[in-house]
Amino acid sequence: MWLKFEQRPEPSKTMSYVSPILAVALMFLSGLLLFVVLGKSPVEGFKVFFLNPLKDSYGIAELFLKATPLMLCAVGLSVGFKANVWNIGAEGQLLIGALVGGGIALHFEHTSSAILLPAMVVAGALGGMAWAAIPAFLRTRFNANEILTSLMLVYVAELVVSWLVHGPWMDPDGFNFPQTKLLSPEATLPILLTGTRVNAALLLAIGALLVGWIFMNKSFMGYQMKVAGQAEHAGRYAGFSAKRSVWIGMLAGGAMAGIAGIAEVSGPVGQITEHISPGYGFAAMIVAFVGRLNPIGIFFSSLLMALLYMGGEQAQQYLALPSSISKVFQGMLLFFLLGSDVFINFRPRFIRRRK
Amino acid sequence: MGLTFISSIIFATVVAGTPLIIVALGELVTEKSGVLNLGAEGIMSVGAVVAFAVTHHSGSPMLGILAGMTAGMLMSLLFGISALTLMANQVASGLALSIFGVGLSAFIGKPYESIALASVNPVRIPLLSKIPVLGPALFEQQGLVYFSWFLILAVAWFLYRSKAGLILRAVGESPVSAHSIGYGVVKIRYQAVLFGGAMAGIGGAFLSVFYTPMWVEGMVAGRGWIALSLVVFATWRPGRVMIGAYLFGGCMITQMFVQGSGAKISIPAQFLSSLPYVATILVLVLISRNRSTIRLNSPASLGQPFLPDA
């Protein structure tokens, strides 16, 4: 017997929704296997990793808190990914957004003005956009590959953060820890539910999902970008500007990542440190793909990805495993998704092997 | 500036450039077959941690390198299954490999943090190492440094002087024609991907066993991505990979240069550390600016999946 893939006459819509579910199932299965390999009870491992984080309402609130930056980054990235604009530097854009927005908060630390928070969010978005504009400009003007340039800028952004918190922005009363002062209460996002850490950024994220949905499905520009991504030549023939796709894709990703960054600083983190993001900008790429580049899908896949982050923390605490196990799960999920996607365009057929 | 200082600058540049040469040449062969594997960063990370662990337990750097190479091939096999057999998007598959590899290496490496390996004695080449200045800089190096020079010649010979290399390039330029005259496109691409994985694994091993003989999470620090950029910089030619690698190697050791030159300038360390990344962006811009250079030199089918017809 020999497995062969036969091209379908047209891509299967059903399979494009089944594939993420299949990928998640495969991830769970290999997770159980991984626990066995590591000498842990798979039932216990599964319970600690996937069920423990959600056992009370505080845990569920934390899930939404961690899903917020993922939602924001992923919806921004999905706009570019649809048009084959590969912005993989969201992590750097997130950091620069955090710096610019947080810088405003630190500069106006004695203000109690009501426009401080909105100004910080706008500044965060602009910071992220500025960082994303570099690869967009280099791509449209000099044809430089945006994958490599946007990624290089992540490392540069990390070093800028490191320089600021070790140098000019370091809290003078902070016992030499590499961090800025804590943000004032006026510069902190309001909590939505007392007793939890869920803040107004969740509303921003859900708003971003709505705007993203309207842009991609109801606007002409969104349509142009989808065409450019699915059939480059058709897009060019219809006169859709490829350069504009690059700019919109990049800036959308940068703006959302920047907001995610400032929301972390003026939310759960509370100050600028070198640990603003545990790789949200990279995980958001997986969120975008697993969510089928669709805002509704992204909503659910960001919750799943947040669960993987929390599971990693639980595994560290109760199973004595490094918390980076969550990144192993995230990577596996993306691989399984890419693998399962073969069924969208192909149908498997078993044939007798020809001799 | 004394002669010993110049000698040690050349020495350090060559050491810093060596993993870049090895990884970039592996990727170059992969890309020549028409496959874009963006997973080098992930493969290097896993290669580095596996090589470190095996060297630590066995005491043999040689075994460590072999283990790093094997781990690199296994990682690239994952990419192959996704991008070649299941025909998934190559860019996404490569990204997946990078994310997965960096995460996996952090996971495997946790118990090995804060352990140091004994430094390995260099291989002194008789006579040549006696040349003033250049001798100690170039011919008292680790074996893998000489390997990287050999690899440049070997890859150049393979691609442009051997029949197998001609077939590989044909597969990269026009998989449909190669297929129609009877070459197994997917099989050849698998071999190229595995070679790239092996080299990236060795490159990672060089970092954790020789360069800084220890394991720290994130120690590959973008070298996989820089190696990918190097292939573009070299316009897919093996000889130019060496020039680029030493250029970046030089950028990576500026810290040492500034300290050693005795100049009384205070530049924040982070600015010097960002040089290799900024330099990568600059050279990408300089090379890509001329669209025809890229179009003429890059393999025509780069990044496109190949579907063998029934």
Domains delineated in chain A: 2-351 (1.10.3470)
**Does B37 contact chain A (CB < 8 Å)?**
no
pLDDT at residue B237 tops 90: yes
Taking residues B77-87, report their average pLDDT.
94
pLDDT at residue A1 tops 60: no
- Provide the pLDDT for residue B265: 67
The domain B3-297: what is its CATH number?
1.10.3470
User: Residue A41 region, left (φ>0) first, then alpha (ψ -120 to 50), else beta?
Assistant: beta
Q: Which of B106, B288, B294 sits opposite A322 (nearest CB)?
A: B106
Placement of tokens 């399984």 in the chain: A336
For chain A, positions 138-157, list CB contacts with chain B under 8 A. 138, 142-145, 147-149, 151-153, 155-156
Taking residues A73-81, report their average pLDDT.
96
The residue count for chain B: 310
pTM of the model: 0.94
pLDDT at residue B55 tops 60: yes
- Our measurement of the distance from residue B203's CA atom to the centroid of its chain's CA atoms, rounded to an integer in Å, reads 5
Our CA dihedral for A101, A104, A105, A106, rounded to 10 degrees, sits at 120
Contacts of A126 (CB under 8 A, 6+ apart): A100, A255, A258
Taking residues A240-250, report their average pLDDT.
90
- Provide the pLDDT for residue B81: 95
Do residues B205 and B65 touch, judged by C-beta distance below 8 A? yes
Q: Which of A145, A324, A335 sits opposite B78 (nearest CB)?
A: A335
pLDDT at residue B310 tops 50: no
Q: What is the pLDDT of residues A101-142, one digit of tens each?
A: 999 999 998 888 889 999 999 999 999 999 999 999 999 999
CA distance A211 to A217: 10
- Contacts of residues B13-16 at CB distance under 8 Å and 24 or more positions apart, as own/partner, are B13/B246, B13/B249, B13/B250, B13/B253, B14/B137, B14/B138, B14/B141, B14/B145, B14/B246, B14/B249, B15/B141, B15/B142, B15/B145, B15/B210, B15/B211, B15/B249, B16/B211, B16/B248, B16/B249, B16/B250, B16/B252, B16/B253
pLDDT at residue A355 tops 60: no
The residue count for chain A: 355
The answer to whether the CB atoms of B86 and A7 lie below 8 A apart is no
Q: What is the pLDDT of residues B254-280, one digit of tens each?
A: 877 776 666 666 788 889 889 999 999
Q: Which residue in A87, A156, A343 has the most chain B C-beta atoms within 10 A of its own C-beta, making it the best mutation to test that interface?
A: A156
- Provide the pLDDT for residue A151: 96
pLDDT at residue A336 tops 60: yes
Q: What is the pLDDT of residues B100-120, one digit of tens each?
A: 999 999 999 999 998 988 888
DSSP label at residue A349: E
Placement of tokens 């025509």 in the chain: B300
The answer to whether the CB atoms of B92 and A5 lie below 8 A apart is no
Q: Is residue B235 classed as helix, strand or coil in its secondary structure?
A: coil
Averaged pLDDT score across all residues of chain A: 92
The answer to whether the CB atoms of A155 and B221 lie below 8 A apart is yes
Over its C-alpha atoms, chain A yields an Rg (Å, rounded) of 22
**A8-22, A340-354, B146-160 — which is least confidently predicted?**
A340-354
What percent of chain B lies above the pLDDT cut of 90? Answer: 72
**Does A290 contact chain B (CB < 8 Å)?**
no
**Does A342 contact chain B (CB < 8 Å)?**
yes
Ranges of each domain in chain B: 3-297
pLDDT at residue A2 tops 70: no
Placement of tokens 């917020």 in the chain: A68
CA distance B27 to B31: 6
Angle at A315 between CA A285 and CA A33, to 5 degrees: 80
Q: Which residue in A143, A243, A287, A316 has the most chain B C-beta atoms within 10 A of its own C-beta, making it the best mutation to test that interface?
A: A143
- Provide the pLDDT for residue B263: 65
B227 contacts in chain A (CB < 8 Å): none
Asked if ipTM goes beyond 0.90, one says: yes
Averaged pLDDT score across all residues of chain B: 92
Q: What is the pLDDT of residues B133-189, one digit of tens each?
A: 888 889 989 999 999 999 999 999 999 999 999 999 999 999 999 999 999 999 999
Q: Which of A148, A160, A335 sits opposite B284 (nearest CB)?
A: A148
The answer to whether the CB atoms of B104 and A328 lie below 8 A apart is yes
DSSP notation for B65-132: HHHHHHHHHHHHHHHHIIIIIS---HHHHHHHHHHHHHHHHHHHHGGGTT-BPPPPPPEEPTTGGGST
What percent of chain B lies above the pLDDT cut of 70? Answer: 97
The answer to whether the CB atoms of B91 and A286 lie below 8 A apart is no
pLDDT at residue A73 tops 70: yes
- Provide the pLDDT for residue B216: 92
Quick one: pLDDT band at residue B1, thresholds 50, 70, 90?
Answer: low
Q: What is the pLDDT of residues A262-293, one digit of tens each?
A: 999 999 999 999 999 999 999 999 999 999 99
- Provide the pLDDT for residue A111: 83
Residue B23's nearest CA partner among B294, B227, B256 is: B227
Question: Between chain A and chain B, how many beta carbons pairs sit less than 8 Å apart?
Answer: 137
- Provide the pLDDT for residue A238: 83
> B133: distance to nearest CA of chain A, Å?
34
Give strand pairing partners of B123. B141
- Provide the pLDDT for residue B309: 62
A138 contacts in chain B (CB < 8 Å): 281, 284-285
Give strand pairing partners of A349. A4
HEC sequence for A19-85: HHHHHHHHHHHHHHHHHHHCCCCHHHHHHHHHHHHHCCHHHHHHHHHHHHHHHHHHHHHHHHHHCCC
